[in-house]
């Protein structure tokens, strides 16, 4: 009992520390690093969600960008167009008003509702067929957004307030990590994993697999929606093109590189794979060294990114961490 309260008090404390850091230190970094750190955090949230669906439940989804799009657009709608009472837009502070977290949650909930919708096909489809059906879902969302005049159609929604800051992004990363690890170390979490391990055996052990598959989709979509909301309020612009299937693939790559079913591995991979292309961009600044300027070429970054993917898969086919957590791997080496 006491232990439980202490843990949650620690989490709140950690969020407060993040807030202090955000106010008094984060601004000192230059814009490039700020952006990189925030993007990494947003990718973490999206990948944590996908890891639940793909990694823990084994339901291979290629439609994560669709959920992110729904969350992103919905959150922007709620912060910009919804008729909130005026005080909510300035309370407790105009830079971080209460409407932002509320809108993020609403965006996540809408994405989760879409996840429910997509989760249902997953009851009939397996493996590659499920992957392609979810990819289809993502593309359908994108095409609808291209035709969605109310929020800018193909031009996208502009002038979104820049509410996403270090505090919000990393508090959400922290809370998501704790909640997901808690879920996974519980009976419903084991039920989700049992679906991945052997669906039939799970069913025969009394696990209502249908429920847990849909739940995994729904929760994964929720986190994707929140990540989408954070992304929109970081970039201040959302276009349908941002959410094409390449984004879904990027998130899948984070999960696979990190290790399907390893929360810490996925967090690490999100940092590495977000930073890698951006840091390569950085090298273009050091163009005085012959040959190095080539590294700054935009396509060169993607080439190195893709080679990293290929070599990682060849030499660490189960990702960085397999389905273990980092501390479990270290623990084993130590003993």
Chain positions 215 to 234 lying near another protein, rule: CB under 8 A, are 215
What is the closest distance, in whole angstroms, from the C-beta atom of residue 174 to another protein in the complex?
14
Is 313 one of the binding residues for another protein (CB under 8 A)? yes
Q: Which residues of 55-71 are buried (b: 16+ CB within 10 A; e: fewer)?
A: bbbbbbbbbbbbbbbbb
Is 329 one of the binding residues for another protein (CB under 8 A)? no
Q: Which residues of 211-222 are buried (b: 16+ CB within 10 A; e: fewer)?
A: ebbbbbbbbbbb
Are 202 and 209 spatial neighbours (Cβ–Cβ below 8 Å)? Answer: yes
Smaller CB distance to another protein: residue 165 or 248?
Answer: 248
Is 13 one of the binding residues for another protein (CB under 8 A)? no
What is the closest distance, in whole angstroms, from the C-beta atom of residue 78 to another protein in the complex?
23
Contacts of range 288-297, beta carbons closer than 8 Å, 24 or more positions apart: none
Is 126 one of the binding residues for another protein (CB under 8 A)? yes
Q: Which stretch binds another protein (CB under 8 A): 67-75, 80-88, 130-138, 235-243?
A: 130-138
Are 231 and 42 spatial neighbours (Cβ–Cβ below 8 Å)? Answer: yes
Smaller CB distance to another protein: residue 114 or 131?
Answer: 131
Is 314 one of the binding residues for another protein (CB under 8 A)? yes
Is 16 one of the binding residues for another protein (CB under 8 A)? no
Smaller CB distance to another protein: residue 80 or 309?
Answer: 309
Contacts of range 323-326, beta carbons closer than 8 Å, 24 or more positions apart: 323/55, 323/259, 323/260, 323/261, 323/262, 324/259, 324/262, 324/265, 325/262, 325/263, 325/264, 325/265, 326/262, 326/264, 326/265, 326/268
What is the closest distance, in whole angstroms, from the C-beta atom of residue 157 to another protein in the complex?
18
- Residue 262 has what DSSP assignment? -
Chain positions 61 to 120 lying near another protein, rule: CB under 8 A, are: none
Chain positions 34 to 63 lying near another protein, rule: CB under 8 A, are: 60
d(CA 164, CA 154): 23
Is 23 one of the binding residues for another protein (CB under 8 A)? no
Chain positions 289 to 308 lying near another protein, rule: CB under 8 A, are: 297, 299-300, 302-303, 305-308
Is 245 one of the binding residues for another protein (CB under 8 A)? yes
d(CA 277, CA 89): 36
Nearest to 142 by CA among 23, 238, 240, 277: 240
Are 263 and 322 spatial neighbours (Cβ–Cβ below 8 Å)? Answer: no
Smaller CB distance to another protein: residue 60 or 170?
Answer: 60
Chain positions 141 to 200 lying near another protein, rule: CB under 8 A, are: 142-144, 146-147, 179, 182-183, 185-191, 193-194, 197-198, 200
Smaller CB distance to another protein: residue 44 or 273?
Answer: 273
Chain positions 248 to 277 lying near another protein, rule: CB under 8 A, are: 249, 252-253, 256-257, 260
């Amino acid at each position: 009992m006491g232990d439980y309260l202490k843990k949650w008090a620690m989490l709140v404390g950690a969020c407060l520390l993040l807030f202090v850091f955000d106010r008094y230190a984060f601004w000192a970094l230059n814009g490039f690093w700020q952006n990189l750190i925030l993007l990494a955090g947003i990718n973490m949230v999206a990948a944590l969600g996908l890891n639940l669906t793909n990694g823990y439940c084994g339901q291979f989804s290629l439609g994560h960008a669709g959920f992110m799009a729904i969350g992103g657009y919905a959150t922007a709608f709620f912060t910009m167009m919804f008729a909130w009472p005026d005080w909510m837009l300035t309370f407790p502070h105009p830079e971080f008003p209460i409407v932002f977290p509320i809108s993020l949650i609403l965006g996540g909930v809408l994405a989760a509702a879409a996840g429910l919708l997509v989760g249902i096909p997953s009851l009939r489809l397996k493996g590659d067929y499920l992957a392609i059906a979810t990819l289809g879902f993502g593309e359908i969302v994108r095409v609808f957004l291209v035709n969605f005049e109310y929020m800018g159609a193909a031009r996208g929604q502009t002038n979104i307030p820049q509410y996403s800051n270090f505090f919000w992004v990393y508090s959400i990363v922290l809370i998501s990590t704790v909640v997901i690890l808690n879920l996974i170390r519980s009976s419903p979490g084991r039920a989700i994993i049992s679906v991945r391990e052997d669906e039939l055996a799970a069913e025969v052990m009394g696990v209502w697999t249908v429920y847990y598959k849909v739940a995994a989709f729904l929760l994964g979509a929720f986190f994707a929606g929140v990540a989408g909301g954070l992304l929109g309020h970081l970039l201040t612009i959302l276009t349908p093109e941002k959410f094409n299937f390449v984004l879904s693939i990027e998130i899948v790559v984070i999960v696979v590189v990190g290790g399907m079913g390893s929360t810490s591995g996925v967090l690490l991979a999100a940092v590495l794979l977000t930073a890698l292309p951006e840091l390569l961009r950085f090298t273009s600044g050091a163009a005085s060294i012959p040959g190095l300027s080539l590294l700054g070429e935009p396509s060169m970054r993607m080439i190195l990114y893709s080679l990293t993917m290929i070599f990682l898969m060849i030499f660490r086919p189960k990702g960085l961490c397999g389905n273990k957590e980092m501390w479990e791997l270290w623990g084993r080496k130590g003993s």
